[in-house]
Chain A
Amino acid sequence: MSKGQVGAELRLVTPGMVVGPSSGKRAGSGMIAENNEFIATRVGWLNEQNNVVSVQPINSAYMPRSGDLIIGFVAEVRNNLWFFDVNGPFQALLPMSLAPWKVEFGSTRQHLGIGDAALARIQEVDETHNMVLTMKGVGLRRLNEGAVVSIPVNLVDTLRGDNNTTLSRIRDVTDCRIIVGDNGRVWIHGDAENMHVARQLIQTLNEEGHKKTFESAVQALENERGEH
């Protein structure tokens, strides 16, 4: 039976797989230590950094953390607050006081109605998943135009690239405004043709899911569009 090993090369591990002795190291995410052994709890790539052994998951649900930049859809409106679908297991609450506008009690619907999209930050999450959003902050706003596309949460980093380098290149080559939410929702806005190109590119990422393939798709697009 194949066993993952803690080493330099990338190793795919599956839940229950013993990946090596745990002595002197700490278990990171996707990893538990039992009987002096590390056991993977998720499908993903084995990772060891600074004595922490973890699994970089290949597929995972969005689990909100405070500070996350998210794209949400209004699911419910009350007189003094909104509930947002943020692609997580639970809805998040935006109180009137954390909206970017001066909102009168009872006039919440005039600012954001059901189905409307907004760029927000997660202000607070407690251990039972209760979540508060804020829209006070630079760039946080209602999204009035463009489209929202979904990607698996584990591909968010691939889409952004190191220090957002990949994202900048995609913005340039597609001539679209693009915002990548930590919750796996991507907002794109541009003219019809450019938006279609951006959508196709993100679709490639969704279907392939591989860093290398995606990088070469971006490169190919740059070559193709650079010639025009």
Chain B
Amino acid sequence: MVELVPSLLRQELDRLAADGQRIDGRGQFDGREVHLEVDCLYNAEGSAKVVWGDTIIYAGVKFEIRTPWPDRPTQGSLMCGAELRPVAHRKYEPGPPSPESIELGRVVDRGIRESGCIDMEKLCIVPGEKVWGVMIDIHVLSDGGNIFDAAGLAAIAALRTAVVPAERFDVGEDHTLLVNGTPIMASFKRAGGRFVYDPSEEEELGGDERIHITLGDEGHLHSLQKGLKGVFTPSEFAEILAVAEQKCSELREMVAEKEGN
């Protein structure tokens, strides 16, 4: 369903931007409160729940044993998918996965995969015969804006706390999944002509293009995505990249803290 964009909303976003303000009173690069919970679902080998403002997302990790691809006999596989089901918002309709669902899953997938935090060789059980397939499923329960960052956080937190169910498959003892790194996403949205961090539902409705940046532990870029209509300048990107570095390291610490518990 295409949502109606009130003219007054766009007008107000412009006016607030001119004063350096936002509808909910945040500064341009302030994020909302984030709560992260891990190991919260029975049956998932790794799980996380993220409450990010009014957005609520679960991620669950499952393992399967499969035959490796012939050209990579010693490598396992990783797959990350997302579902934007109609539970999450009035605007989502039932039916086959929407382009938005697929984009969300693939952007999160790239950030994790390309960071190299999962060593595919380590997922090998018997070369040429048996490897682990790791699957992360992202389930959006409430879309209150910025589902990308919340989904990325839930996915990496679930992955980092996952236990490989080797006993159930009769291939050794259960052990924690080896994850070398914590790629984190930071998203920006053009609202009222300038970019803001962590867009709210209203800013998403009344704004323009969005940019998603995934950074690894060393501050390297692992995935970038520009979505929706609009263009941006190199200097705008430089500005939000600097903000992303700070936001990502804060969230990375939050994940580390939860793992310690």
Contacts and interface: CB of A to CB of B under 8 A. Distances in A.
The answer to A–B direct touch (Cβ < 8 A) is yes
B4 A199 contact: no
Contact of A196 (B6, B10, B25): B25
B6 A148 contact: yes
Contacts of A116: 6-7
A192 B15 contact: yes
A20 interface: no
Contacts of A75: 4
Contacts of B21: 192, 196
Q: Which of B6, B9, B16, B25 has the most CB of A within 10 A?
A: B6
Contact of A85 (B4, B10, B23): B4
Contacts of B7: 113, 115-117
Contact of A114 (B4, B11, B15, B16): B4
Nearest to A187: B8
A114 B5 CA distance: 8
Interface in A174-202: 192, 196, 199-200
A196 B16 CA distance: 10
B217 interface: no
B33 interface: no
A200 B25 contact: yes
Interface bin, chain B: 10 to 19
Nearest to A195: B12
A146 interface: yes
Interface bin, chain A: 10 to 19
Contacts of A103: none
B161 to A, nearest CB: 32
B15 A143 contact: no
Given A147-B12, A196-B25, A115 B19 contact: no
A183 B23 CA distance: 22
A150 B5 CA distance: 14
B6 A73 contact: yes
A210 to B, nearest CB: 20
A114 B6 CA distance: 8
Contacts of A192: 15-16, 19, 21
Contact of A115 (B5, B12, B15, B16): B5
Interface in A72-118: 73, 75, 85, 113-117
B8 A147 contact: yes
A135 to B, nearest CB: 17
A147 B4 contact: no
A194 to B, nearest CB: 13
A117 B206 CA distance: 14
A147 B9 CA distance: 7
Interface in A181-227: 192, 196, 199-200
B23 A115 contact: no
A114 B23 CA distance: 22
Interface in B18-64: 19, 21, 23, 25
Nearest to A147: B12
A73 B12 CA distance: 15
B6 A115 contact: yes
A114 B16 CA distance: 22
A148 B12 CA distance: 10
Given A192-B21, A196-B21, A200-B25, A73 B15 contact: no
A114 B3 CA distance: 11
A117 B9 CA distance: 10
A145 B14 CA distance: 12
A115 B21 CA distance: 23
A73 B21 CA distance: 25
Q: Which of B4, B21, B25 has the most CB of A within 10 A?
A: B4
B25 A117 contact: no
A146 B10 CA distance: 11
Query: Nearest 10 CB-CB pairs, A to B?
Result: A115-B7, A147-B12, A116-B7, A73-B6, A192-B19, A115-B5, A117-B8, A115-B6, A75-B4, A73-B4
23 contacts: A73-B6, A75-B4, A85-B4, A113-B7, A114-B4, A115-B5, A115-B7, A117-B6, A117-B7, A143-B8, A145-B8, A146-B8, A146-B12, A147-B8, A147-B9, A148-B6, A148-B8, A148-B9, A192-B15, A192-B19, A192-B21, A196-B25, A200-B25
Interface of B: 4-12, 15-16, 19, 21, 23, 25
Given A147-B8, A148-B8, A199-B23, 9 more contacts: A75-B4, A85-B4, A113-B7, A115-B7, A117-B7, A147-B9, A147-B12, A192-B15, A200-B25
